[in-house]
Structures are given as C-alpha cells and as structure tokens.
Amino acid sequence: MDTSDPKIQFNNLGQCNHCQGAIKMLNSGLFSYSSEQKEETLKRLVFRIKKERRKNYDCIIGLSGGVDSSFVALYVRQLGLTPLAVHLDNGWNSEIAVQNIENVCRNLDIDLYTYVLNWEEFKDLQLAFLRSSTPDSEIPSDHAIYSSMFRAAQKEKVRYVITGFNRTSESILPEAWSLGHYDWKYIKSVHKLFGSGKLSNFPHYAFIPFFYRWLFKSFVPGIKMINILDYLKYDKYKAKETITKELGWIDYGLKHYESNYTKIYQAYILPQKFGFDKRRAHFSSLICSGSITREQAIDELKLPLYDSDKLRIDLKYLCNKFEISLDEFNEIMKLAPRNFADYPSYANSLLFKLSSLPLRPLNKLLKLIRK
C-alpha cells in the first residue's frame, strides 16, 4: 500500500493501518477456529440451508466467470447444495467470462438465470458516474449484482445468498478508492446530476438501517448472505488450478478482468486519473493471508498494467460502446477528481447516522438474538 490512500497511516515497523486491521481480523472470529471447529460450523450451516429449502433451490450463488464465483459453484456442489446461479449481464462480458460461465454450469449441472440490464439505461448511468469524476464507476454494477441475486432469492423463496467475497483475498480496500456500493441514494443522485432519463429498470435495494444489517447480516429482510469461502483455507492460486482442471475454467488475468469495462477502469482510468492501482490492495490482502510474499507482490507490481497497442484498441472499444468521441472521453479524464462525500447519499443523512449509533449496551442481547 502507498499514500495514494490519503488516510493511510504507518507504524514504526512500516505496517499500514489497513494491513494491521486485516491481520487482526484474520486472527479473530471464524478465522481463529481450528480446522475441526470450522468444519463442524460449516456442517451445521449446510444442514440448516438444506433443511430450509422450500422449492427448487436451497441457495443462490452469483456467477461472473471469475475465479472466486466459479470456485464457489464447485464448492457448494461438493457440499451437496442445490444452487441457482445468477449472472448479471451488464453488456461488458468478455468472451472468456461467457465461456467460463457455460463450462461451470454444464460441468456442475447448475441452473443459470441471467439478469440482462437495459443497456441504454445502464450506459447512461455509467457515463453519469464517469462525469461525476469519482473513483466509484464500478458501483452501479456491484449494486445491480447483489440486487439481482436478492430478487432471484425472493422469487424462488430461497433464504440464503452465497457470495464469492472472501477475507483471504479481499480484506483491504481504502474508502478513498471506492465507497457507496450499497447506497441507492448515492447512485440516484449521481444519475440525476449527470445522466438523463429515468432508472426505471435498474435493479436496486433501498436503505437498510445499520443495526438491521449488523443483526441479520443482510440487506434484504428474510435473506441471509454467506461468505462461504471464509469457512475454509481459501487459496486463490490453488483454486485456479482446481477449477481449470475440473471445470475447464480459463484464466483472464488480474482480479475482475472477466469484465471488459473493469479491466479498462482498473488498469487505466483509476491509475491515470486518481493515482489508484488496485493491485496494491489485492496483493496486500494476499500477503496478509499468507497466500503470497511481499517480494512476489512487488515483482508483480513492476509489470505494466497495459500494453500501449492494446490500450489504444480498448479505449476505442469503450468510446464506441458509450457512443462518445475519444476527445470527449479525454475531457472527462481531465475533470478534477471528486469523491463520495461530494454527493447526496444515505451515508450523509441524519437517518443513517442515527442508525449507526453505537449499540454497546445491547450487544449481548443482540448476539443472543442473532444466534
């Protein structure tokens, strides 16, 4: 990590606050359990998921064609669960991602539901975020991904949404680099200021008070989110080897590059406009979990994010898809950087602040209820 995060702090040993927090978290709670304790906890969880099955499926999984979601698909099948895979098609899928999704579902005999976004509406929303000049242009996709899974869960009467999010490889992400993923008011505000038309078809979920999210671990009443990979010793590199061998999975490069837009955004827009290289956070997470060494990460960071010829082709592709000129895109890149705090959001509202008040006097009671 480096000072591209304006709030970063380093101790006398040169360790940043993000890594200190990640290491502390990775040595507490579920991560402090022995392998036997984790196995028993997982066994009880799987039993409960199966027992509460109402219709065709006992859980919902997201499937992007990436390594984490593909491994989750394999793992839940190994656990004996019957998932419905939900994929969000936002118009930016790479050919590799599409092939991976097909291979995973075919080889594991998993039903797939694809939620296709209205492209004209979503294009307008993505352009609005680019023009807002914040580093949050991936937030609309992230918000829609979870919303589409929640909608599928409600439709299929499924109580459990199993995600590929895991603390082993995703324990670090500075708020200055991205914020507002769950904030529908923020998304609407940016679109109102910089977009046109209405977000009539865009999947979303509304404000859920902090205490509800803390208590029930969910953003939608009646649905529980589970980060299943936290229940095992997850090694992303070994996971790649496994799904390549068993599912015919194809590697697409760095984290989240299964999306053509994400690749351009993370490898060019973020570092060029904001000075953020998200590889630093990804590699730092892997270092803290013991998956790679610091020396390996530093060697990886020396590799260029983009080949110049490939960049020229990809920027032309992006501009054509957005129906803007390269000059217009370059003008957007020149806009002064702004951030989440510059726009209306739930997080800046009084209601959110009241819902986020410390609950220490109720902690013991809430923990009992949550069990």
Residue count of the chain: 371
Answer yes or no: are the C-beta atoms of 110 and 73 closer than 8 Å. yes
pLDDT bracket for residue 301 (50, 70, 90): very high
CATH number, domain of 272, equals 3.40.50.620
Which residues contact residue 73 at a Cβ distance below 8 angstroms, ignoring those fewer than 6 apart? 61, 63, 83, 85, 104, 105, 108, 110, 247
* 195 exposure class (CB count in 10 Å sphere: 0-12, 13-18, 19+): buried
- pLDDT at residue 255 tops 60: no
Host domain of residue 265 = 17-370
Total structural domains in the chain? 1
CB atoms within 10 A of CB 26: 19
Asked if residue 9 belongs to a domain, the reply is no
Q: Give the model's pLDDT for residue 211.
A: 47
Q: What is the mean pLDDT of residues 156-167?
A: 94
Q: Give the model's pLDDT for residue 205.
A: 82
- pLDDT at residue 79 tops 60: yes
Report which listed range, 99-108, 192-201, 253-262, is most confident.
Answer: 99-108
Q: Which of 288, 60, 50 is nearest to 166 (CA)?
A: 288
**C-alpha span between 126 and 320 (Å, rounded):** 14
pLDDT bracket for residue 210 (50, 70, 90): very low
Answer yes or no: are the C-beta atoms of 255 and 97 closer than 8 Å. no
Helix (H, G, I), strand (E, B) or coil at 279: helix
pLDDT bracket for residue 362 (50, 70, 90): very low
Asked if residue 30 belongs to a domain, the reply is yes
pLDDT bracket for residue 125 (50, 70, 90): very high
Asked if residue 247 belongs to a domain, the reply is yes
Asked if residue 266 belongs to a domain, the reply is yes
Asked if residue 339 belongs to a domain, the reply is yes
The pLDDT tens digits of the residues spanning 20-35 come to 999 999 999 888 999 8
Asked if residue 34 belongs to a domain, the reply is yes
Asked if residue 10 belongs to a domain, the reply is no
Q: Is the pTM of this model over 0.85?
A: yes
Q: Which of 258, 259, 305, 247 is nearest to 280 (CA)?
A: 305
- pLDDT at residue 215 tops 80: no
Q: What is the mean pLDDT of residues 8-12?
A: 95
Instruction: Give CA separation, 25 vs 19, 28, 38, 39, 313, in Å.
Output: 10, 5, 16, 19, 42
Asked if residue 218 belongs to a domain, the reply is yes
For residue 230, give the amino acid letter. Answer: D
- In the numeric block, the tokens 């990640």 are attached to 22
The pLDDT mean for the chain works out to 90
- pLDDT at residue 216 tops 60: no
Answer yes or no: are the C-beta atoms of 74 and 247 closer than 8 Å. yes
